[in-house]
C-alpha cells in the first residue's frame, strides 16, 4: 500500500534558497502540491492565500511604496486573484525593499501573461505536475529524487552504454516499491490528495469532486461561460481521446460545438494543465508523414474518472501513463529533451521520439509482458531513415525483464525505465 507520507518532489531541488535575490513563480494544476512544497521549502516566509477575500482586500490597500515594509519577502498563493499585487511586487523588488518572493497559481494563461507584462526578466518560473513514478517510489527520503533510468540513458553515449551493464531483472524491495507506485498511477493517477485514502470509493469521490471543482474554479478563471453544459461534454470526450490524433472538427461535432469553439476549449484544457499535445516529428524524412498532433491527458486517474473506465489497464491508459510520465519529468525539470511522435499515412508509427542534442531515441509502447521482434519493426525502419541521428530504440512494456533485441533496441519494463 502507498504510504501516507509527504512525498519528496523533484521541483524541491530547483526551488531557490531564500538567500538568493529573485522572484519565484510556481504554477500547475490545482491540488498538485504547490502550496505544500513551497511552505516546506520556505517555512519562515509569511504566507498569504489570495483565495481569501480578506487578504485580497488588505493587500489591495497596501501602497506600492509600503509593500516592502508592510508585506516584505513573502509567499503569495493564488496570485492570479489579485493581479495588481504583481505590480506592487515588481515595484518593491526594483526598489530593493523586497529581495525574494514566491508566487503561486493555477491558471497559467492569466499568470504568465501578467508575468510577462509585469515581471519579465525578474522571475524564475517552475511547474508542478501530478506525482511522477520516480517521486512516488522515492517517497519521503531527504535525498533528492533520483533521475529516471530513461533520462540517464538519454545522457549516455548510446543505449548500450546505459542498459548493457544492468541486471536483466531487478529484485527485492526496489522492485516492489516501483511496481507498487506504477500500479497506483495506472489506477488512480498522481494527485497527491489521493494518498490520504485507503478505500477505492473515497478515491473515486475525490477524483469526481476534483473534476467538478475544476469546472467551477479554473474554468471560471479562464472563461466567462454562462452554460457549462457544452464544455462538460467536451471535457469528457477529450479525455476519451487521449493518445488519439487531434481533430478539432471531429471533436467539436461529437460535442455539439463548432471547430473554433473546440479549439478554444482545448486551449482551456492545456493552459489549466489537464491535457497536452504531442507534435508530429517535423523534419521531412518522408513526405507521407502526418502533420496532426496527438492529445494526451496529464493524469490517468482524472482521465479514468471522466470516462468512467475503472477496469483493467488497457493500451490507451498505458500509453497515456508512459507519455505523461516523460512529459511531466521534462516540464518539471526544465530538461531540454524534445518530444514527438512519428506516423506515416500508410500506418507506420513510432509512439514517441525523444530528441536531444546528441540525437534521437524512439519509444514503442506495448501494454503486455511478452515482446516479439515485430514489436520493434517500426523502430528499426525509423532508425534506418534517420541514419546518424538515431541513438537507438526502446520497446516500453509490462513485465520484469530487460531484453537486448539487437540493433541497439531494448525491451524495457515501464516501471524500471521511468522509476
For residues 180 and 200, give the distance between their C-alpha atoms in angstroms, rounded to a whole number.
16
More confident residue, 107 or 1: 107
pLDDT of residue 34: 94
| Size (the chain), residues | 419
Q: Distance (Å, rounded) from C-alpha 284 to C-alpha 365? A: 23
Query: Which CATH number does 10-128 carry?
Result: 3.40.50.300
Q: Other C-beta atoms within 10 Å of 254: how many?
A: 16
CA nearest to 324, candidates 21, 32, 62: 32
Cβ pair 378, 349 in contact under 8 A: yes
Q: State how far the Cα of 355 lies from the Cα of 361, in Å rounded to an integer.
A: 7
Report whether 363 contacts 322 (CB < 8 A): yes
Residue 4 Cα distances to 121, 226, 230, angstroms: 39, 39, 38
Which strand ranges, in their side-by-side order, compose the sheet holding 123-127? 47-49, 75-77, 100-105, 22-27, 123-127
173-188 vs 315-333: helix crossing angle, rounded to 10: 110
Distance CA 205, CA 217 (A): 18
- 3-class DSSP state of 269: helix
Question: Is 102 in contact with 73 (CB distance < 8 Å)?
Answer: no
pLDDT at 288: 54
Q: Report whether 186 contacts 317 (CB < 8 A).
A: yes
* pLDDT tens digits for range 277-324: 999 997 665 555 667 899 999 999 999 999 999 999 999 999 999 999
CA 176 to chain centre: 24
Domain boundaries, the chain: 10-128, 134-418
Scored b (16 or more CB within 10 A) or e, 273-297 reads bbbbebebbeeeeeeebeeeebbbb
Q: CB under 8 Å to 182, separation ≥6 — which residues?
A: 133, 321, 414, 415, 418, 419
On the question of pLDDT at 403 being above 70, the answer is yes
What is the end-to-end Cα distance of the chain in Å, rounded?
17
Distance between CA atoms of residues 278 and 351, nearest Å = 10
Which pLDDT value is given to residue 285?
Answer: 56
Predicted confidence at residue 142, as pLDDT, reads 78
* DSSP one-letter code for 288: T
CB contact at 8 A, 35 and 77: yes
What is the pLDDT at residue 272? 86
Q: What percent of the chain has pLDDT over 70?
A: 92
Q: What is the pLDDT of residue 1?
A: 45
Q: Return the C-alpha cell found at 293.
A: 498532433
Residue 67 pLDDT > 70, yes or no? yes
pLDDT tops 80 at residue 109: no
Side-chain half-sphere exposure of 287, counting CA atoms within 13 A: 0
pLDDT tens per residue across span 144-200: 899 999 999 998 888 999 999 999 999 889 899 999 999 999 999 999 999 999 899
Amino acid at each position: 500500500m502507498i504510504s501516507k507520507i509527504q512525498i519528496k518532489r523533484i521541483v524541491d531541488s530547483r526551488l531557490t534558497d531564500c538567500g538568493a535575490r529573485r522572484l519565484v513563480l510556481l504554477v500547475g494544476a490545482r491540488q498538485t502540491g504547490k502550496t505544500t512544497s513551497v511552505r516546506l521549502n520556505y517555512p519562515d516566509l509569511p504566507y498569504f492565500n489570495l483565495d481569501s477575500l480578506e487578504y485580497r482586500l488588505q493587500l489591495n490597500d497596501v501602497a506600492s511604496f509600503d509593500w516592502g515594509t508592510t508585506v516584505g519577502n513573502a509567499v503569495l498563493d493564488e496570485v492570479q486573484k489579485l493581479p495588481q499585487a504583481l505590480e506592487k511586487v515588481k515595484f518593491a523588488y526594483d526598489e530593493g525593499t523586497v529581495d525574494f518572493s514566491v508566487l503561486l497559481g493555477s491558471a497559467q494563461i492569466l499568470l504568465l501573461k501578467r508575468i510577462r507584462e509585469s515581471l519579465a526578466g525578474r522571475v524564475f518560473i517552475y511547474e508542478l505536475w501530478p506525482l511522477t513514478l520516480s517521486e512516488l517510489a522515492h517517497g519521503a527520503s531527504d535525498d533528492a529524487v533520483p533521475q529516471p533510468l530513461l533520462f540517464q540513458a538519454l545522457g549516455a553515449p548510446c543505449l548500450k552504454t546505459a542498459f548493457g551493464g544492468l541486471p536483466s531483472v531487478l529484485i527485492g524491495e526496489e522492485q516492489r516499491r516501483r511496481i507498487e507506485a506504477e500500479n497506483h498511477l495506472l489506477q488512480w493517477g498522481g494527485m497527491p490528495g489521493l494518498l490520504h485514502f485507503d478505500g477505492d470509493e473515497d478515491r473515486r469521490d475525490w477524483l469526481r469532486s476534483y473534476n467538478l471543482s475544476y469546472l467551477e474554479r479554473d474554468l471560471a478563471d479562464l472563461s466567462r461561460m454562462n452554460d457549462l453544459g457544452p464544455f462538460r461534454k467536451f471535457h469528457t470526450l477529450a479525455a476519451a481521446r487521449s493518445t488519439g490524433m487531434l481533430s478539432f472538427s471531429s471533436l467539436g461535432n461529437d460535442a455539439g460545438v463548432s471547430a473554433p469553439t473546440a479549439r478554444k476549449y482545448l486551449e482551456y484544457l492545456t493552459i489549466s494543465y489537464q491535457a497536452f499535445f504531442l507534435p508530429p516529428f517535423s523534419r521531412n524524412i518522408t513526405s507521407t508523414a502526418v502533420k496532426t498532433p496527438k492529445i494526451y491527458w496529464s493524469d490517468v486517474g482524472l482521465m479514468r474518472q471522466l470516462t468512467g473506465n475503472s477496469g483493467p489497464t488497457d493500451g490507451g491508459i498505458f500509453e497515456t501513463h508512459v507519455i505523461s510520465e516523460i512529459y511531466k519529468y521534462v516540464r518539471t525539470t526544465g530538461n531540454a529533451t524534445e518530444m514527438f511522435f512519428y506516423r506515416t499515412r500508410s500506418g507506420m508509427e513510432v509512439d514517441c521520439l525523444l530528441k536531444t542534442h546528441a540525437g534521437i531515441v524512439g519509444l514503442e509502447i506495448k501494454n503486455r509482458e511478452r515482446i516479439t521482434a515485430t514489436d520493434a519493426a517500426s523502430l528499426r525502419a525509423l532508425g534506418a531513415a534517420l541514419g546518424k541521428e538515431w541513438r537507438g530504440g526502446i520497446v516500453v512494456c509490462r513485465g520484469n525483464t530487460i531484453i537486448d533485441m539487437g540493433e541497439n533496441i531494448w525491451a524495457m519494463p515501464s516501471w524500471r525505465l521511468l522509476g
